[in-house]
């Protein structure tokens, strides 16, 4: 899911959809308006799922898509290799997802623990 916003609202650390990837913004550079033009923004971000770099250059009055992030908690049912099985604490839905290489997540991902995860554009992402 996503909502509409304007480029001028985007700040470093916020989230934006760049090239159909939900990205966390790492830099926003705004140029001064020219004699006959509008101010432009150069925005760079990293994909939340594969950590790839994406960027755009756009007028500051342009519309953009902002991902809706649903923050949830789940209980770890099982950890097998590079996969984790979680049960959502609200809906009691169980699902499998890949375990990221991040050591903080791997340390918290032990059977019986509660762990945070996000649902972004119908995909799930573990958070520390």
- Domain containing residue 84: CATH number: 2.40.50.140
15: tokens are: 């989230």
Q: Residue 14: which of 6, 24, 27 has the closest Cα?
A: 24
Q: What is the mean pLDDT of the segment spanning 77-96? A: 93
Query: Is 107 in a helix, a strand, or coil?
Result: helix
C-beta of residue 24 within 8 angstroms of C-beta of residue 85: no
77: tokens are: 């049912």
pLDDT in tens, 24-34: 999 999 998 88
| pLDDT band for position 64 (cuts 50, 70, 90) | very high
Q: Which domain-ending residue is among 67, 89, 109?
A: 67
My answer on whether 73 and 105 are in the same domain is yes
CATH of the domain at 40: 2.30.30.30
Q: Which domain-ending residue is among 50, 67, 84?
A: 67
My answer on whether 63 and 12 are in the same domain is yes
Q: What is the mean pLDDT of the segment spanning 72-88? A: 93
My answer on whether 91 and 77 are in the same domain is yes
Q: What is the DSSP pairing of strand 2-6 with strand 15-18? A: unpaired
My answer on whether 27 and 53 are in the same domain is yes
Cβ burial of 75 (10 Å; 0-12, 13-18, 19+) is middle
Query: Among 35-39, 93-97, 108-112, whose mean pLDDT is lowest?
Result: 35-39
40: tokens are: 């432009």
* Domain interval for residue 81: 69-126
Query: What integer pLDDT is reported at residue 128 of this predicted model?
Result: 59
For the chain, the domain total comes to 2
């Amino acid at each position: 899911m996503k909502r509409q916003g304007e480029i001028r609202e985007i700040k470093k650390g916020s989230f934006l959809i760049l090239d159909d990837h939900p990205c966390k913004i790492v830099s926003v550079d705004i140029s001064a308006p020219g004699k006959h033009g509008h101010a432009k923004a150069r925005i760079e971000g990293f994909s939340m799922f594969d950590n790839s770099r994406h960027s755009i250059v756009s007028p500051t009055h342009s519309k953009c898509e902002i991902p809706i992030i649903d923050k949830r908690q789940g209980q770890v049912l099982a950890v097998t290799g590079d996969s984790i099985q979680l049960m959502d604490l609200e809906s009691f839905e169980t699902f499998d997802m890949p375990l990221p290489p991040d050591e903080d997540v791997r340390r918290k991902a032990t059977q019986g623990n509660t762990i945070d995860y996000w649902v972004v554009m119908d995909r799930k992402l573990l958070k520390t």
